[in-house]
Structures are given as C-alpha cells and as structure tokens.
Amino acid sequence: MSAPLAPPGGDGPLAQLRRYTPARIGLGRAGPSLPTREVLALALAHARARDAVHALLDLAALDVALRAMGVEAPVVRSAAPERAAYLARPDLGRRLSDGAAEALPRPAAAPAVAVVVADGLSAVAAQRHAPPLLGALRSLAPERWEAAPVVVALQARVALGDAVGAALGARLVAVLIGERPGLSSPDSLGVYLTSDPRPGRSDAERNCVSNIRPEGLPYGEAARRIDWLAREALARGGTGVALKDESDASASAGRQLE
C-alpha cells in the first residue's frame, strides 16, 4: 500500500513542487477521495473555463485600451452570426462576413505587418492581454509594430487573419487570439504569425507563441520571441515549417557578445 500523500501546504516534496506549477499534484486525501477543497477548486476552474468560452469581447473597453496607445482599430466579424454558431461551426469563424474585406480601410501603402486582435475561444484572454502585449511589441521594435494596422475580429478563428492580411496587402499577419481555456488557464493568449497571408493557408505555414499571460509567458518575453519571428519571417519570406524558432539561441549569442 502506498504512503498517504503529504497535505498541500506541508513540507513534503509534492507540497514543494506545488509552489512551482499550477498543475494539480499532491492534492492530499480525505479517506479514499480528494479533499473537499480540491473538488470545489476543480469545479471552480471548470466553471471559469466554460465562462471564458462563452464570454463576449467588451469592444468599448478594448477600444479605450487601444486608443490609449494611439491605435484606432476597425472591427470585422466572421461569417458566424453569433457565439453559439461560432462554437458549433468552426468553418464559419475562419471566413469574413459578406462585405467585411471590402469595408476595411486601406492603408496608404501596403504594410509589412498587420495585427488582428481576435476573441477566439477566450475573449477574456484577448481583453486582458492583447493591449499590453501590443504595447510591449511597439516599445521593443517600433519600426515594425507602430506602423502595423490593427483590426479587431469577432467570432474569429486563427485563419480569419489570412483574409484580413490579404485585404490589407500585408506581407505578414500576426493574430493575437484567445486560446482554448484549460483548467489552470482560462485566459491564455496565443499569437500566430503567417507570411504572405491569404485564404487557404494551412496551420503548417504558421508560427505560434502561446500561453501569454503574467502567470505563463510574460509580455516582455513573448514580445521578444514574436518580434524575432516577425523579423526573420520578413527577411526570409516564410513562416511555419520554413521558419524554426531560434530566438533563444539568438538571445544567448547576444548576451555572450556583451
């Protein structure tokens, strides 16, 4: 028979590991079952994940946050008419609604990079993390990100960015999108980079940086990786299988030269 697990908050090895991960380890026991507090915590996490999937983007609040950075972002919608259809029909979330592409304001010159802020499967994540991440990118490399037009997309999947990028004539599109919620992260943001965006691109042609949130990948580190990928994608003319993420090696080489 195995020894009883150390209770959370004790000094056992599992309790020490819990300080470094939100994973549900070393939960303890109450007879043959989990302690009531852990059962309730799991139910709460599940409820938060469900709420995140069904939540709607607060456009007014997002507009205020973006305008504080000097960003005016037009809004487009996918072919999904409302949230229930979006969740049941992923294909609708990958297409722009009728006339949306034609209604987008065109920049005076074709941009190198276009940014799409999309609700995805967690509008909470886009609401909380897209503005500060965009701010970090603009501070890190203003030559790439301050000139990038920003579009807000509702009921959107990642592939919707391809149509937006093509309509704007961008060489690269960065889609900042709420990821599928997990039981420890209902508000995780992902960023997908696609070179030469146009409808029909596959997921193999994208690079992704995920789990962006203060408890996961912090904004500054995420911005460093995303900008490295964007810079290299523009220089090499490809993303996905054509572009391996070597941003860590690049940063390490830079530190050795200092």
Please indicate if the annotation marks 175 as binding a ligand.
no
Classify residue 45: in a domain, yes or no. no
Note down pLDDT in tens along the chain; length 258 residues.
344 444 555 677 887 888 888 888 888 888 989 999 999 999 999 999 999 999 999 999 999 999 999 999 999 999 999 999 999 999 999 999 999 999 999 888 999 999 999 999 999 999 999 999 999 999 999 999 999 999 999 999 999 999 999 999 999 999 999 999 988 889 999 999 999 999 999 999 999 999 999 999 999 999 999 999 999 999 999 999 999 999 887 676 666 655
Classify residue 13: in a domain, yes or no. no
Please indicate if the annotation marks 208 as binding a ligand.
yes
Q: For residue 94, what are the domain limits?
A: 58-248
Classify residue 7: in a domain, yes or no. no
How far, rounded to the nearest angstrom, does the alpha carbon of residue 148 sit from its chain's CA centroid?
A: 18
Determine the Cα angle at 234 with ends 230 and 235, to 5°. Answer: 115
What's the number of domains the chain is made of?
A: 1
Classify residue 27: in a domain, yes or no. no
Classify residue 100: in a domain, yes or no. yes
Please indicate if the annotation marks 113 as binding a ligand.
no
Classify residue 144: in a domain, yes or no. yes
Classify residue 93: in a domain, yes or no. yes
This prediction's pTM? 0.88
Contact 239, 150 (CB under 8 A): no
CATH of the domain at 126: 3.40.50.11240
Q: Which residues contact 125 (CB under 8 A, 6 or more apart)?
A: 52, 177, 178, 179, 186, 187, 188, 189, 213
What torsion do the CA atoms of 6, 7, 9, 14 make, to the nearest 10 degrees?
Answer: 40
Classify residue 106: in a domain, yes or no. yes
**Structural element, H or E, at residue 224:** helix 219-236
